[in-house]
Amino acid sequence: MDAEFNHPYHHAQLLRLRCSVQNYNWGKTGTDSHVARLFALNSGSKIELDKPYAEFWVGTHESGPSFLLESGVENGAPIGSQFITLKDWIAKNPNVLGNKVFDKWGSDLPFLFKVLSVAKALSIQAHPDKELAKMLHKLQPDVYKDDNHKPEMALAITEFEALCGFIGLKELKVVIHNVPEIVELVGSTDANQLLHMNEQDGEEKVKSVLRSIFTQLMSASKEMTTKVISKLKNRLHMESQVRQLTDKEQLVLQLEKQYPADIGVISAFFFNYVKLNPGEALYLGANEPHAYLYGDCIECMATSDNVVRAGLTPKPRDVQILCSMLTYKQGFPEILKGFPLSPYTTRYLPPFDEFEVDRCVLPWKASTVFPAVPGPSVFVITGGEGKMLTGSSTEVVNEGDVLFAPANIEIGITTASELHLYRAGVSSRFFQFL
């Protein structure tokens, strides 16, 4: 695995990265967007005030690559500088990944790290498992651009709202009972069957009825959907005169404003409505339905951009694939609060090999150490200033700086003001169980 070093940096040093931004229309606009501020500071560009800034990407995915600045020197004068992608640089220097990571995933980062600023709901979606991803990529490479699965985790920076996973049977019965518009779309046979079920019928039986109802709902004709959502909206507006609407009902009205006559509006009744406080995280396995609704978060995932969509979106949808791939697991998702690694650092460790995330808030004049780990890491500075020290070098870091750390180097951090940073790396569990 020895590769020649074609780069002026010594491999035991931190590399500064210039990262990509995605301007999807659900992003927060201009200076309201945390992503816009990070991107402007990272790239030295100006924020366009009326443009949405949705996602800041750190990693090696082709759809939003990170670059490092490579400059050569000849006779004491710079011979120009050009950008090389982090992916290309790692391919030339695979030993920066550490042997175990290289043996499992080859010469690429196994995780993709993002910051999201969400102003309006993202599509109701799920990410395929590895088998399905391979099949979809083969059949529709222009839509499903890679063959990887995409387990992911969202860690709230601000209060953060999402829909995630199906509600339990008890809550589902209440929904069927209280939302006549759903029965109108799916028919009374399935609806009655569900109302008469109980836990004793067994999980698989409940799942199959839920699958049938959800598939019928998501497959409703445009005409029928428009009619039923208009009814729903009118009913909720009238009822709001005489009673307090539930959180979910208020959310449904808000979604209807964002995506009029979209089946995703009514399907929101089927999902858990999750509100995260800053520092809380939600993880999503393959084939679990979800939609982020509002707020800023750190997101980490396996290196993939595969999404199967079915609602709350102007983009193409794959309703049949989505409805057939879901696990239909029910119940409220687990919220990760992380565990302390040190007085200043909290670790979030979802049950996936590809990644873990550390959140570090370091007070002024404090210092901490990130011990050497057997895999690569990336660091994103989201506030304050300080210094990152490795054996051979010191990097002054400020908000917007992003750094790549090769495997097996210890990093000391000191502050010039309160410093906020996030680190993503390969899961420490992956190294324990090899």
Q: Write out the binding residues for Zn(2+).
A: 125, 127, 152, 290
Annotated active-site positions, please?
A: 309
Q: HEC string of the chain?
A: CCCCCCCCCCCCCCEECECEEECCCCEEEHHHCHHHHHHHHHHCCCCCCCCEECEEEECCCCCCCCEEEEEEEECCEEEEEEEEEHHHHHHHCHHHHCHHHHHHHCCCCCEEEEEEEECCCCCEEECCCHHHHHHHHHHCCCCCCCCCCCCEEEEECCCEEEEEEECCHHHHHHHHHHCHHHHHHHCHHHHHHHHCCCHHHCHHHHHHHHHHHHHHHHCCCHHHHHHHHHHHHHHHHHHCCCCCCCHHHHHHHHHHHHCCCCHHHHHHHHEEEEEECCCCEEEECCCCCEEEEEEEEEEEEECCCCCEEEECCCCCCCHHHHHHHCCCCECCCCEECCEECCCCEEEECCCCCCCEEEEEEECCCCEEEECCCCCCEEEEEEECEEEEEECCEEEEEECCCEEEECCCCCEEEEECCCEEEEEEECCHHHHHCC
Binding-site residue positions: 125, 127, 152, 290
